[in-house]
């Protein structure tokens, strides 16, 4: 027995990819053979999730455009394990520079929610879960809408065998490699020229964490990325820079501490101290929230299981 689903003509390629490039991945997820004729895709055998999955993918493609492996995977996960948040019709969205960004995991859905309501947000969990991406897009949406005046990006500069002093260039060039993930996220909604202009007029500012001391940051969103490498003193210093009409977002992965003494990390310390304060929210991501790709999710899961042994 086979099942078929017919996409609307404008959506077939958005779901299946150019030259049906997504087909092998869809076959792997549903453990069945698929065939395509025109805008119709057919599954061999009885696959209960096939029709609901195709409907879900078509709706996602209409909202977001062409689907990539990570987005297909998260749609499959949400369909296989629906949550209360996922069943709601009012799915949260962040709009920046005319692009709409939707949550791709249950933890991202929670993060979308608390970003609207909290002055300090901690997003804690493994790599590939979208913590930094969502934080940067949210910050840009606030700045571009005029609700905030500045986006301040900072990371602890932790040397890993090579001193910043030996790297060529000025401070901005030295920091570039450390801040590339933040720029990658911004590049999802803005062109390099737009990002450069925002840097030139001070709308986007980058700074090493150590340079934050003594400042009061007003009407801005401050993002501290890779916060697991901030010491307890640095974390306190960063959070107390928060001025009027400002928001602090702290992202990090406690399993990737590069400090000489892991116990010196200020991330989990801050979460434990501040988690119960009104206006402070903590969103914890796990390997099941990994959206970068299926293989990254399995890598994160394998390391997590080994650490628990």
Mean pLDDT of 68-75: 77
Give per-residue pLDDT as tens, 145-169: 999 999 999 888 764 433 445 445 5
Give per-residue pLDDT as tens, 19-63: 899 998 888 888 788 999 999 999 987 888 899 999 999 998 888
Residues paired with residue 265 on neighbouring β-strands, in sequence order: 231
Task: Find the Cα–Cα–Cα–Cα dihedral 108, 110, 115, 116, rounded to 10°.
Answer: 130
Mean pLDDT of 118-130: 90
Give per-residue pLDDT as tens, 104-114: 778 888 999 99
3-class secondary-structure state, position 126:
coil
Give per-residue pLDDT as tens, 181-229: 777 788 878 888 888 899 899 999 888 888 888 888 999 999 999 999 9
Confidence of residue 294 (pLDDT cuts 50, 70, 90): low
pTM recorded for the entire structure: 0.69
Confidence of residue 237 (pLDDT cuts 50, 70, 90): very high
Q: What is the 3-state secondary structure (H, E, C) of 188-221?
A: CCCCHHHHHHHHHCCCEEEEEHHHHCCCCECCEE
């Amino acid at each position: 027995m086979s099942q078929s689903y017919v996409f609307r003509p404008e959506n077939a390629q958005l779901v299946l990819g150019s030259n049906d490039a997504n087909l092998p991945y869809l076959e792997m997820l549903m453990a069945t053979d698929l065939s395509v004729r025109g805008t119709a895709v057919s599954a061999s055998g009885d696959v209960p999730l096939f029709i609901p999955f195709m409907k879900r993918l078509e709706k996602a493609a209409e909202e977001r455009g062409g689907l990539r492996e990570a987005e297909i995977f998260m749609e499959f996960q949400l369909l296989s394990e629906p949550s209360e948040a996922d069943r709601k019709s009012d799915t949260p969205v962040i709009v920046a520079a005319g692009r709409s960004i939707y949550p791709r995991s249950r933890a991202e859905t929670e993060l979308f929610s608390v970003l609207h309501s909290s002055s300090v947000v901690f997003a804690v969990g493994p790599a590939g879960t979208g913590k930094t991406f969502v934080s940067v897009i949210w910050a840009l949406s606030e700045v571009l809408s005029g609700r905030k005046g500045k986006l301040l990006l900072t990371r602890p500069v932790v040397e890993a065998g090579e001193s910043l002093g030996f790297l060529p260039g000025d401070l901005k060039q030295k920091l570039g490699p450390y801040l590339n993930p933040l720029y990658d996220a911004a590049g999802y909604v803005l062109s390099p020229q737009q990002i450069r202009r925002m840097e030139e007029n001070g709308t986007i500012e980058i700074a090493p964490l150590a340079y934050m001391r003594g400042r009061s940051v007003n009407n801005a969103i401050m993002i501290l990325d890779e916060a697991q490498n901030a010491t307890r003193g640095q974390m306190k210093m960063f959070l107390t820079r928060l001025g009027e009409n400002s928001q602090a977002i702290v992202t990090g992965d406690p399993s990737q501490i590069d400090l000489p003494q892991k116990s010196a990390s200020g991330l989990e310390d801050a979460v434990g101290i501040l988690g119960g304060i009104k206006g402070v929210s903590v969103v914890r991501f796990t390997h099941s929230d990994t959206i970068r790709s299926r293989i990254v999710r399995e890598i994160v899961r394998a390391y997590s299981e080994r650490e628990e042994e």
